[in-house]
Amino acid sequence: MAFPKRFLNLPDYAFPRLRKLLDVHAPGGEPIAMTIGEPRHPMPPFVGEVLAESLHGFAQYPPNEGTPELLAAISDWIARRYGPRLGPERIMPLNGTREGLFDACMALCPETKGGKPPVVLMPNPFYQVYAAAALSVGAEPVYVPATAATGFLPDYAGLAPDLLDRVAVAYLCSPANPQGAIAPRAYLADLLGLAERHGFTLLADECYSEIWRDAPPTGALEVAAETGADPERVAIFHSLSKRSNLPGLRSGFVAGGPQSIARFRQLRNYGGAPLPLPIQRVSERVWADEAHVEENRALYHEKFRIADQVFSGLQGYRTPDGGFFLWLPVEDGEAAALKLWRETGVRVLPGAYLAREVEGENPGKGYIRVAMVAPSEEMQRGLIRLRDCLYG
């Protein structure tokens, strides 16, 4: 059998890798899962009711581009959150952001750039979908370190100009998974300037945008509007998975320039699966409600207060500005995850599984990622065991 070569170097996904590492050993205590970023706070209380009212919609094929009501609810949310008011031609509902982040390369990455193979930039470590998306279109993924030395954001502007000229799209995750860094306004403005000078599109993965500590993170779209950037230079990706604790609903959106969105829509018309009508109806209501989002954020505030207490005085510990992960420094993430599991039953992800080795360096190697999703008491027990086992 012949299979595509372009995915040969794609490592196993992080979670099967983790199972291989840990599951051959018995846990050293009551297992506590702090690996996967699956929110476990309550979902909005009205979801069931809206779904029940809209069940008849399962009997129809749903519109690919989204119902006018859902597009209006998303547009209202963007206007409330970021300022700009977008027309429906600039928004496309997605089955969660993962789908859109993957399809983005297919929709937007040209076959060549300046006569050469195109480059897709991504931070390193990163959400693994970006790399698979780049490889799926035969582009060259370039992994740009996002480490303590760069404020945990990629320094794209520091890349060589001839490489930048080959860039077709650049992914950015803010708040960042796994480090929790938030791109400041000036960083975004500079990056949009770089995109304009080198002719690439910024794909801003903002799916953790509503989970923040001190102030709502600035969005790429709002900076694009403020700086008068070409609307085609940026697409933002948002989701109800983290904002509203609905990862199983599979609902999000991409918003960008009208030409980019037209390309997304066309592709999806051929090969995509539009959101079922009842899910569109539920999503519409969820985007319109902020009360549950505030409650959710308050629960995370409490969790980070606990983490700050547990790790107070630990060298290298910092409260992430956004998102719900701790990115903790250790000597070797894989060895630490294994020790922790075998001695305490706490399960965390080695940072290296979220990053790529470039020139012999894996920028995730000296870290573990800890998801703060379990109920507060369980999470606190897990963090104390982790501290005593790895830093005691």
Ligand X SMILES: Cc1ncc(COP(=O)(O)O)c(C=O)c1O
- Report the residue number whose CB is nearest to ligand X: 96
246 class by beta-carbon count within 10 Å (0-12 exposed, 13-18 middle, 19+ buried): buried
* Residue 274 contacts ligand X per CB under 6 A: no
Residue of the chain from 239, 244, 260, 362 that contacts ligand X (CB under 6 A): 239
Q: How far is CA 312 from the centre of its chain?
A: 28
Q: Which stretch binds ligand X (CB under 6 A): 96-104, 154-162, 164-172, 358-366?
A: 96-104
Q: How far is the CB of 158 from ligand X (least distance, A)?
A: 23
Q: What are the b/e assignments for 217-226, b being 16+ CB within 10 Å?
A: bbbbbbbbbb
CB-CB contact of 341 with 350 (8 Å)? no
Residue of the chain from 35, 124, 128, 177 that contacts ligand X (CB under 6 A): 177
Sorted by sequence, the CB contacts under 8 Å of residue 250 that are 6+ apart come out as 95, 96, 99, 275, 279
Q: How far is the CB of 127 from ligand X (least distance, A)?
A: 4
Between 35 and 241, CB nearer to ligand X: 241
**Interatomic CA distance for residues 145 and 159, integer angstroms:** 11
CB-CB contact of 135 with 141 (8 Å)? yes
Q: How far is the CB of 4 from ligand X (least distance, A)?
A: 24
Residue of the chain from 247, 272, 350, 351 that contacts ligand X (CB under 6 A): 247
* Residue 37 contacts ligand X per CB under 6 A: yes
Q: Which two tokens stand for residue 88?
A: 């429906």
Q: Which stretch binds ligand X (CB under 6 A): 21-29, 66-74, 239-247, 359-367?
A: 239-247
* Residue 154 contacts ligand X per CB under 6 A: no
Q: How far is CA 83 from the centre of its chain?
A: 22
CB-CB contact of 254 with 91 (8 Å)? yes
Residue of the chain from 35, 75, 97, 244 that contacts ligand X (CB under 6 A): 97
CB-CB contact of 256 with 232 (8 Å)? yes
Between 125 and 231, CB nearer to ligand X: 125
* Residue 35 contacts ligand X per CB under 6 A: no
Tell me which residues in 194-233 interact with ligand X (CB under 6 A): 205, 207
Residue of the chain from 96, 145, 272, 320 that contacts ligand X (CB under 6 A): 96
Candidates 189, 99, 203, 191; CA nearest to 141 is 203
**Interatomic CA distance for residues 322 and 243, integer angstroms:** 12
Residue of the chain from 39, 44, 73, 127 that contacts ligand X (CB under 6 A): 127
* Residue 175 contacts ligand X per CB under 6 A: no
Residue of the chain from 41, 90, 98, 233 that contacts ligand X (CB under 6 A): 98
Binding site for ligand X (CB under 6 A): 37, 96-98, 127, 173, 177, 205, 207, 239, 241, 247, 252
